[in-house]
């Protein structure tokens, strides 16, 4: 089994509505998102997946969040708190829909709020 990982990043503000502390106030992060894809089949060049393809797919998704107030974007504007957990799941679901990636290859999405804090979402 091969695991390909790529990272993307965006800067955005959010607030965790109802949080009993300062995270309920408007603040921002330099978010880093790691995409993990798994598979067993290699192409004739010996690659499971070209890093360029994975980076492009992730970048297309993340550009919607860059320099934005996440609470104003769907689904966060509909009452979903823009926590790292919810971001990881929502990004995972967006990546899952991308046809450029091998079907069933998406293993995990990890969202870092800071270099030392992260959440990983998987379907299992």
Which of these, 34, 15, 33, lies nearest to 80 by C-alpha position? Answer: 15
Whether residue 75 is preceded by a cis peptide bond, meaning omega within 30 degrees of 0, is yes
- Residue pLDDT, tens place only, 63-97: 999 999 999 999 999 999 999 999 999 999 999 99
Query: Domain range for residue 8?
Result: 2-121
Q: Say how many domains are in the chain.
A: 1
Mean pLDDT over each residue of the chain, to the nearest integer: 97
Q: Provide the Cα torsion 47, 49, 51, 52; round to 10°.
A: 110
CATH number of the domain to which 38 belongs: 3.30.479.10
> Mean pLDDT over residues 108-118, rounded?
97
Confidence (pLDDT) at 100: 94
Band of residue 20 on the pLDDT scale cut at 50, 70, 90: very high
Confidence (pLDDT) at 124: 83
Q: Please give the Cα distance from 18 to 73 (Å, whole number).
A: 18
Global pTM value: 0.95
């Amino acid at each position: 089994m091969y695991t390909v990982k790529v990272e993307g990043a965006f800067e955005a503000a959010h607030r965790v509505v109802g949080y009993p502390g300062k995270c309920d106030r408007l603040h921002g992060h330099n978010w880093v998102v790691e995409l993990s894809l798994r598979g067993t089949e290699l192409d004739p060049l010996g690659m499971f997946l070209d890093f360029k393809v994975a980076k492009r797919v992730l970048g297309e998704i993340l550009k919607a969040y860059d320099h934005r107030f996440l609470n104003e974007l769907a689904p966060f504007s509909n009452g979903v708190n823009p926590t790292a957990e919810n971001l990881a799941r929502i990004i995972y679901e967006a990546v899952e829909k991308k046809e450029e990636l091998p079907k069933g290859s998406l293993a995990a999405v990890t969202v870092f709020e800071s270099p030392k804090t992260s959440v990983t979402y998987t379907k299992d």
